[in-house]
Structure formats: C-alpha cells, structure tokens
Amino acid sequence: MSTGVLGIRPNPRGRGSRLITINARRACDECTAYPLDARRLAGPIVARVQALRKSPVSEASPTVPAHTLHICVTCRPKGAPPEAVRDGRVLYEAVAALHADWPGRDQVALNGVECMSGCDRACTVALSGRGKPSYLFCDKAPTPETAAAALDLAAQYAASDTGVLMRGDRPGPFRSGILAKIPPGL
Ligand code: FES
C-alpha cells in the first residue's frame, strides 16, 4: 500500500517547484527521520491545495494588476496634530474616487498604506511594478490636481516597458520630489 506524502521538488524544466508525492517507505530506508519531517512540512501544503480546490473562485480569479499605486494615508504636514484629518487620507480618497471608474484599474491597483518612511516630506506616493523600478515621491499636496496627476503617472508607468519615468514626461505635480528610485528585483 502506498505511504506517499506530499512534498515540493524543484521543477526539472528549471522554473519554480512542483507538488510531488514522496514515497515515505523508501525515504524511511534512507533516513528514519525523513517521513516525519516530510509529513510536518507537507501539512501546510496539503491545507493550501485543499483550500484552492474548494475555493469557488479558484478557476475564475480576476487578473491581478501588474502595477500598484501606493499612497500613504497617515501623512500629515510637519507640526499638524496627530488627531487632525490626515492630508494623506485626503489625497488617497481623492485618488480612490477617480480610480473607481478609471479605465486603467486592471493594470494598476490602488493601495493605501500607513507610512512609507517619508514622513518629513508629506504627502508620499509610490509606484511599483513587476520587473520595473519602484519610485517614491514626496511633498505632494492633497489636491484634486495631484490626484488626477497620480493616475496619469500610473498610466505612463503601466504603459512603459521599462517603467522608467523621465522627468519631462511626468505630469506637473510629479516632476519634482523623488525620494527614491529603486531598481527592480533580479
Ligand atoms: S506618515 Fe506618510 S510616509 Fe510616514
């Protein structure tokens, strides 16, 4: 009778891993500890696979946007009391109102975050995307103009193969105030 348990083995085609069945009896011949370790490690994998199989949306998951526009919702001007309405929240809600009907929303997700370590240069806005450099902008005013410009900038970023945003091409509110440009991951 089979005593197989689930495990993960590198894909021989060179990309990622694949789910396999480990023969516990054979592993036991090689190392008595192996089947126990394999079962312990396999637990979360089995739970994940079972959850995916049960999920009603697993076959029709919506496409995940390849880019994200991040806006800090906790940014406030220097000296503003903590209990005051946050400029970052104002900016985020202005962008969210536009993003709800924005044609590029399949390409760019909107993400409200609490702090991007640019607190002295509120408001902060960032862009990230697969295989593209990430940008962190600062000193953005919480105005309707900035909100519209943020989506224009995000559209440029999504349309660019490299993700590089040249200063002269960027919308007015984003031509200055870059805190960071981080290369894409390897
Ligand atoms: S509170 Fe906005 S960057 Fe820290």
For residue range 13-70, what is the model confidence (pLDDT) as tens digits?
444 444 433 333 333 333 333 333 444 434 443 444 344 445 444 444 568 999 999 9
Question: Ligand 1 within 6 A of 115 CB?
Answer: yes
State mean pLDDT over 147-158: 98
Strands 67-72 and 108-113: parallel
Cβ of residue 151 lying under 6 Å from some atom of ligand 1: no
Q: Residue 69 in contact with residue 108, Cβ under 8 Å? A: yes
Share of residues in the chain with pLDDT > 70 (%): 67
Token pair of 174, please?
């984003």
| Alpha-helix residue ranges (DSSP H) falling in the chain | 24-30, 34-54, 87-99, 144-159
Q: Check pLDDT > 60 for residue 174.
A: yes
Please check whether the domain covering 67-182 is classified as CATH 3.40.30.10: yes
Q: How far is the CA of 8 from the centre of ligand 1 (A)?
A: 40
Q: How many CA atoms lie within 13 A of 65 on its CB side?
A: 20
The pLDDT of residue 62: 66
Q: Where in the chain is the domain with CATH 3.40.30.10?
A: 67-182
Amino acid found at 32: T
